[in-house]
Amino acid sequence: MEAGATGEQSPGVVARFVPSASGEGAQTQGFFACHRIALAELPAHRVRALLEAAEGDPVRALGFDMSVWKSPSISLTDKQTARLSEARTAPLDPRLLERATLTGTYALLYSDAAFPANLLPLTDTPPMLFVRGELLPADRFGVAIVGTRRSSPYGDTQSARFAGAFATNGLTVISGGASGIDAAAHAGALNAGGRTVAVLGCGADIVYPAGNRDLFNRIVQEGNGAIVSEFALGTKPEPWRFPTRNRIIAGLARASVLIETPEDSGALGTAKCSVEYGRDVYVVPGPVDSGRSRGGHRLIGDGAILADSPEDVLLSLGVVLVAQEEPKLSRRPMRGNIAVASDAATPPLATAANLFPDPVPVSPLPDLPPNEAAFLSTLSATPKPFDTITQEAGLSSSDANVAATLLEMKSLTRRHPGNLFSRM
């Protein structure tokens, strides 16, 4: 699903549209245009093509003649063209501007510097998001926590525990804003003084479930996160929208952690997307007699990583842990968006440098059989997925597996969770 996309734009092109309460100005008109385009519910790649044809200007994109919409560079179908044409001329909800300004919702295009970097390489990324709060570059160091809405006290406790530990170590906690495991994860991150992002399956101005109103207000008002949606304001939380939004949760996160996922849980869809995007999936085990974790347990059998503790996830991601006996959910002082250790002797927190270290020099290749030499030649100190290594080395999967095992026995390579390999 990689597209090699970038967030670059032409100089002077606006990519963030904040509506004014007066209803006047180019920013408001741009916001209205984004809203109308979202109302048409076009495939993400078609919206991307539409905006690119208009050089990132949603007002211009909406004003194109229908023949341009159908042109090879955009390729809208007749039905898609009809939906966009209807959205272009339909009367707007008279309360749209009021809802947008009261909730502080703005439109963010893929070409804005604040657009989530982890989403940009994915072909099914929504090219515009409606946002409450603020997205930060450091949110690319994020972990998703997802699970059932019908959580048990055990599940809520584990969700808050994992989220608190991630937040304490400088990672953004990403979830779906639902009740149960999602709500516990968002609250756990906030209680630890960290950041959290809620991805909704409805409009960003809709509070669903209604019981999460205070939680959503905390996310936005405390300045420690954002609420995002690809859907137009006022969009109701219809069931089919939640599987669609799961791809955004998976795309935003460096890894996904599943807690209490029954066999019919929508969180399994998030796990599927994570695997497709090349991101790790972790499963927190639950009681075997409740059925609440059966879907996650089966994922472990399919290759997901069992996580007994937050440290299992943090260490496998290369995070330098905050020195403490147990993750605590009390607020910690913050420096920017990363928690500050209270003791000078405490190890440094998660940063871009220690999460994804730059490659370091490695020793020359030793004399090895051809397959092992080919496998090893693709590696550096930075972990790399097995499938990528196999392709770069020009080996079959079976030959690559044998080479990986032999190199590991010779202490020339290191195997990491998620079937990643690095050179020793």
Q: Order of strands across the sheet with 413-416?
A: 384-385, 420-423, 413-416
Give pLDDT, residue 365: 60
**Angle at which helices 370-377 and 397-409 pack, to 10 degrees?**
80
- Domains, in order of start, for the chain: 16-98 (no CATH), 137-339 (3.40.50.450), 370-423 (1.10.10.10)
The whole-model pTM stands at 0.74
Which position has the higher pLDDT, 344 or 421? Answer: 421
The strand pairing partners of 172, in sequence order, are 142
Residue 330 has pLDDT above 60, yes or no: no
Residue 337 has pLDDT above 90, yes or no: no
Tell me how far apart the alpha carbons of residues 412 and 151 are, in angstroms, rounded to a whole number. Answer: 44
DSSP states along 139-156: GGSEEEEEE-SS--HHHH
**Eight-state DSSP code of residue 257:** E
Give pLDDT, residue 112: 94
Tokens read off for 241: 């929208």
Tell me how far apart the alpha carbons of residues 101 and 106 are, in angstroms, rounded to a whole number. Answer: 8
Residue 86 has pLDDT above 80, yes or no: yes
Residue 345 has pLDDT above 90, yes or no: no
Residue 15 has pLDDT above 90, yes or no: yes
Quick one: average pLDDT of 199-222?
A: 96
Give pLDDT, residue 364: 56
Which position has the higher pLDDT, 343 or 118? Answer: 118
Quick one: average pLDDT of 73-82?
A: 97
Tell me how far apart the alpha carbons of residues 83 and 46 are, in angstroms, rounded to a whole number. Answer: 13
pLDDT in tens, 222-244: 889 999 999 999 999 999 999 99
Share of the chain above pLDDT 90, in %: 68
Give pLDDT, residue 6: 41
pLDDT in tens, 146-171: 999 999 999 999 999 999 999 999 99
CA angle 337, 341, 346 (to 5 degrees): 140
pLDDT band for position 13 (cuts 50, 70, 90)? low
pLDDT band for position 293 (cuts 50, 70, 90)? very high
DSSP states along 87-128: HHHSPPPTTHHHHHHHHT-EEEETTSTTS-TTTTTBTT--SE
Residue 326 has pLDDT above 60, yes or no: no
Mean pLDDT of the chain: 85
Residue 339 has pLDDT above 80, yes or no: no
Residue 357 has pLDDT above 60, yes or no: no
Tell me how far apart the alpha carbons of residues 343 and 27 are, in angstroms, rounded to a whole number. Answer: 46
By the 8 A CB rule, do 284 and 297 touch? no
289-292 long-range CB contacts below 8 Å, 24 or more apart?
290/152, 291/262, 291/263, 292/148, 292/150, 292/151, 292/152, 292/155, 292/260, 292/261, 292/262
Quick one: average pLDDT of 342-350?
A: 35
Which position has the higher pLDDT, 411 or 256? Answer: 256
Quick one: average pLDDT of 172-195?
A: 97
Residue 353 has pLDDT above 80, yes or no: no
Kindly give, in sequence order, each residue whose CB lies less than 8 Å from that of residue 400, ignoring residues fewer than 6 positions away.
371, 375, 386, 389, 390, 393
Give pLDDT, residue 388: 86
pLDDT in tens, 87-119: 999 999 999 999 999 999 999 999 999 999 999
CA angle 401, 402, 404 (to 5 degrees): 65
Give pLDDT, residue 208: 95
Residue 310 has pLDDT above 70, yes or no: yes
- Secondary structure (3-state) at 33: helix
Which position has the higher pLDDT, 381 or 64? Answer: 64
